[in-house]
Structure 1
Amino acid sequence: MGGGRFYGPDFELLEERDPELARVLLDEVERVRGGVQLIASENLTSPAVLAALGSALSDKYAEGYPGNRYYGGCEVVDRAERLAVRRARELFGADHANVQPHSGSSANLAAYAALLQPGDRMLAMALQHGGHLTHGSRANFSGRWFDVVSYGVRRDTELIDYDEVRDLALRHQPKVIVCGATSYPRLIDFGVLRGIADEVGAWLLADAAHPMGLMAAGVIPSAVPYADVVTFTTHKTLRGPRGGAILCTDELAGRIDRAVFPFTQGGPMMHAVAAKAVAFGEAMRPEFAAYARQVIVNARALCDALAAEGMRPVTGGTDTHLALLDVRGLGVTGAEAESRCAAAGITLNRSAIPYDPEPPGVTSGVRVGTPCVTTQGFGPADLEKVGALIGRAVREPEKIAEVGDEVRTLPVIRQAYLRQY
């Protein structure tokens, strides 16, 4: 079967020692190679990031921070973490960075722990309007531990109603205002939210998990100059390893660091920290800015193509890497659209739309994103074809096998699975 950079280092050894698990890895690579990946929260890491993830740094326990660990032998991994912190601060223009959170949810937990006490009030975007589970869902710790007031989008424009946000903030006096979303395709006005936070004496926390790579590249406005704390993931548009990180002002640095360790986490995953350093370094290169610009161009092309197929773009379009589509015009639910596309080799996810009449497991919409396909080399013309194929798969389930054949023979699919950056 062979190793190579597609499969990670020492793959031949894995095949020899554990062929059953090796088969799983091969099957996942072939799944990605053979289809179109449109999950907005996914991307494809570079071979350099994968090399760091598969390194000897995985073996080192390193509770604490560089120069102040609770274990010996950390002088080497200290260098990796210092490098990641320095690059994160430089890349995003931040006073302070903590690169230890295991995920975006872990980063949010730590940020809340630094700014709030159980029972304190926060104002955040409602899950059904595009927010995240950690923004106050009752199924999540955030909704159980804190008094959450939710804001949403207008019915007529499906855009954030900043007047409503201000009114709610004045009425409820939250300690923290959370901004950021997982299925909101438009830019967020961080300056307006900063003004609202100042007016009521609240901290402003920006969850930039989705657009952080676009912010790093300078192709959309950054939350960093406006927010007291910015949490984000290092995968998605940043194209790094799965993980989280936190940026904050100097004023909050100590509180954030203590909230990550020892309050919410023990030892950091040093191989992931090293891989984050690699990703931050890659994001500083001019070619990453070109990539980020292409992600947005591709998202708009795909959004337009799906609109031509009868799927209504929520908010009328997109400014970022993702689009949210109302599929009711095709007489299907989001779950049905997701299933039919999956059968044709096109991976996307069902998603609630604002004021959705369907339950969360069904939904009236789908969410698509272009980070993965842009990494693979797709351009606008390719995404127009993909949009047409999605339309056919959803409208004509009896022809899904035929659509799947066309997906697998797309010229860009036959190109290299992953490009070196």
Structure 2
Amino acid sequence: MTDSLISSAYSQALEVIASVEPRIADATRQELADQRASLKLIASENYASPAVLMTMGTWFSDKYAEGTIGHRFYAGCQNVDTVESIAAEHARELFGAEYAYVQPHSGIDANLVAYWSILAHRVEGPWLSDAGVKNMNDLSEADWEKLRASLGNQRLLGMSLDAGGHLTHGFRPNISGKMFHQNQYGTDPETGLLDYDALRAKAKEFKPLILVAGYSAYPRRVNFATMREIADEVGATLMVDMAHFAGLVAGKVFTGEENPVPYAHVVTSTSHKSLRGPRGGFILATEEYAPSVDRGCPMVLGGPLSHVMAAKAVAFAEARTPEFQGYAQRVADNAKSLAEGFLTRGAKLVTGGTDNHIVLLDVSSFGLTGRQAESALLDAGVVTNRNSVPSDPNGAWYTSGIRFGTPALTSRGFGHDEFDTVAELVVDVLTNTEAGTNKAGAPSKATYVLNDGVADRVTKQSAEMLDAHPLYPGLVLS
């Protein structure tokens, strides 16, 4: 696709939008300008290709298609069937999975579908069989109440939030922490690394129905063969949330025992982040769990977003190329460069480094909370997000950490030298930031003071790198 064709397509699209609501067209133009001018280091964000973005802006958005391929609750879904089939085919081939379900609207939706699918397979199915009925509508009211109580009282063991897990891995304020009798495993207090022996001991004591592996802020790889051994020892279903590192799996950076697909019963993911596709989710599963997962709509989901499923198909196709494998390796290499840049400048990293795409910086050594650091960095055009660190004294809101990710800037062409400079700029900002006070003069975890001239200096230095690696090069909006 030529630059002139892409530019023409977007310019004309914005003209159409502006004819109805010019403020939206203006905001869209400004968003591109802002993204081009900032160092995007949020680990869960990336830049999708023009082909992926354009695929979402079609009339597939107008079509309801509740149900499954060939078995919809609406007529006229033959083209949606084609799109969903292609997306699922690419996902299976890309990850070497037995089954793929591409309907989830997000990673959280994918996790909810997975949880309820496992409950249906492990609890509901045997219940109905024991009761001698084929579906829940045939249960007596008394049996139905017992089944409901059983479904809502199963055990889930997931990684704790401050150790690097996700809200949906059993965090009590999240629905996953309310629908399950949950417990959490953490990391070694000295190293910050997963302690598989301690995890095994907790699993044997707690005996969960579901063992959740995967992370959103753990800067190391996981041995999924060991996780499967632990799950088998306690009779648990192993569910892996690979939303963050799916691109490293697809790109063959994570292979062998670091690839969750051969070991997990169910794998959930997003299609964006390191995979560089549209915002959305998907599920991979063994054939054993496929029938339950296939009931995601209407069990949990409403109508699938057909235009997004089409964009997932395009993104999965892109990820099946040698070029994507090279990109994925650069993502991991650049994370090491960023970590080394921090360490050589005296910064403190959780686990002392990284071997995936995440670098987790403990900003307490700068005398700051994560919220203060995040805000000061944003003033200087460095877009990050605050994150908890193990045993975080500031909790999940203010935090003591900043999470960095390399997928987005790697998509722009940043390499070792640029990421070393990024580390230098971040340390420059944080060194020149002080914790502030509230209106009463008391210490505040939110307010901060950034020394004069620092934001301008860092922004100028960033601009030189960003200009050398333009976002969507060749895209010019008229």
- State the partner residue of 2:438: none
Q: Separation in 2 of the partners of 1:214 and 1:265? A: 28
- State the partner residue of 1:410: 464
- State the partner residue of 1:263: 299
Q: Separation in 1 of the partners of 2:91 and 2:421? A: 37
- For 1:240, which of 261, 273, 277 is the aligned residue? 277
Give CA deviations for 1:242-300 in whole Å, capped at 9, x if unaligned: 00000000011001111x11110121000000000000000001000000000011111
Amino acid at match of 2:27: V
- State the partner residue of 2:92: 89
Q: SS where residue 245 of structure 1 aligns? A: strand
- State the partner residue of 2:409: 373
Q: CA deviation at 1:164?
A: 1.3
Q: Separation in 2 of the partners of 1:106 and 1:57? A: 21
Q: SS where residue 289 of structure 2 aligns? A: helix
Correspondence 1:228 to 2:231: no
The TM-score with structure 1 as length reference comes to: 0.96
Q: Separation in 2 of the partners of 1:126 and 1:252? A: 26
Q: Separation in 2 of the partners of 1:138 and 1:206? A: 19
Q: Gaps (5+ residues) in structure 1?
A: none
Q: Percent identity at matched positions?
A: 45
Which aligned pairs between 1:132-211 and structure 2 lie closer than 5 A?
A: 132-211=166-245
Q: Separation in 2 of the partners of 1:365 and 1:352? A: 6
Correspondence 1:11 to 2:48: no
Amino acid at match of 1:168: K
The 1:16/1:309 distance shift into structure 2, 3 A limit, reads farther
- State the partner residue of 1:333: 369
* Contact 2:246-2:275 at 8 Å conserved across structures: yes
Q: CA deviation at 1:411?
A: 3.3
* Contact 1:7-1:25 at 8 Å conserved across structures: no
Correspondence 1:109 to 2:145: no
Q: SS where residue 328 of structure 1 aligns? A: helix
The 1:76/1:281 distance shift into structure 2, 3 A limit, reads same
* Contact 2:414-2:469 at 8 Å conserved across structures: no
Q: CA deviation at 1:381?
A: 0.4
Q: CA deviation at 1:202?
A: 0.8
Q: Separation in 2 of the partners of 1:308 and 1:336? A: 23
Amino acid at match of 2:465: P
Amino acid at match of 2:65: A
Q: Separation in 2 of the partners of 1:96 and 1:284? A: 17
Which aligned pairs between 1:255-294 and structure 2 lie closer than 5 A?
A: 255-258=292-295, 260-294=296-330
Which aligned pairs between 1:49-128 and structure 2 lie closer than 5 A?
A: 49-116=52-119, 117-128=151-162
Amino acid at match of 1:233: T
* Contact 1:35-1:407 at 8 Å conserved across structures: no
* Contact 2:330-2:410 at 8 Å conserved across structures: yes
Correspondence 1:40 to 2:94: no
Q: CA deviation at 1:415?
A: 3.5
Q: Separation in 2 of the partners of 1:24 and 1:408? A: 23
Q: CA deviation at 1:10?
A: 1.1
* Contact 1:310-1:330 at 8 Å conserved across structures: no
Amino acid at match of 2:45: E
| Structure of larger gyration radius | 2
Q: CA deviation at 1:419?
A: 5.5
The 1:47/1:191 distance shift into structure 2, 3 A limit, reads same
Q: Separation in 2 of the partners of 1:360 and 1:161? A: 22
Give CA deviations for 1:384-413 in whole Å, capped at 9, x if unaligned: 111111111111221333334324422343
The 1:7/1:147 distance shift into structure 2, 3 A limit, reads farther
The 1:7/1:410 distance shift into structure 2, 3 A limit, reads farther
- State the partner residue of 2:397: 361
Q: CA deviation at 1:55?
A: 1.2
Q: Separation in 2 of the partners of 1:361 and 1:400? A: 26
Give CA deviations for 1:287-317 in whole Å, capped at 9, x if unaligned: 0000000001111111111223332111111
* Contact 1:35-1:413 at 8 Å conserved across structures: no
The TM-score with structure 2 as length reference comes to: 0.85
Give CA deviations for 1:330-376 in whole Å, capped at 9, x if unaligned: 22221111111100000011111101111222111110001100001
Correspondence 1:214 to 2:248: yes
- State the partner residue of 2:31: 28
The 1:158/1:290 distance shift into structure 2, 3 A limit, reads same
* Contact 1:310-1:329 at 8 Å conserved across structures: no
Q: SS where residue 336 of structure 2 aligns? A: helix
57-66 or 88-97, larger mean C-alpha shift = 57-66
Q: SS where residue 196 of structure 1 aligns? A: helix
Give CA deviations for 1:4-23 in whole Å, capped at 9, x if unaligned: 27957611211232111111
The 1:161/1:9 distance shift into structure 2, 3 A limit, reads farther
Q: Separation in 2 of the partners of 1:386 and 1:402? A: 15
Q: Separation in 1 of the partners of 2:41 and 2:465? A: 17
- For 2:426, which of 365, 375, 390 is the aligned residue? 390
Q: Separation in 1 of the partners of 2:364 and 2:346? A: 9
Amino acid at match of 2:267: V
Amino acid at match of 1:176: I
Q: Gaps (5+ residues) in structure 2?
A: 120-150, 433-449
Q: CA deviation at 1:122?
A: 1.0
Q: Separation in 2 of the partners of 1:136 and 1:182? A: 13
* Contact 1:234-1:243 at 8 Å conserved across structures: yes
Correspondence 1:348 to 2:384: yes
Q: Separation in 2 of the partners of 1:383 and 1:19? A: 38
Q: CA deviation at 1:111?
A: 0.6
Q: CA deviation at 1:198?
A: 0.7
- For 1:400, which of 430, 451, 454 is the aligned residue? 454
Q: SS where residue 150 of structure 1 aligns? A: strand
* Contact 2:36-2:466 at 8 Å conserved across structures: no
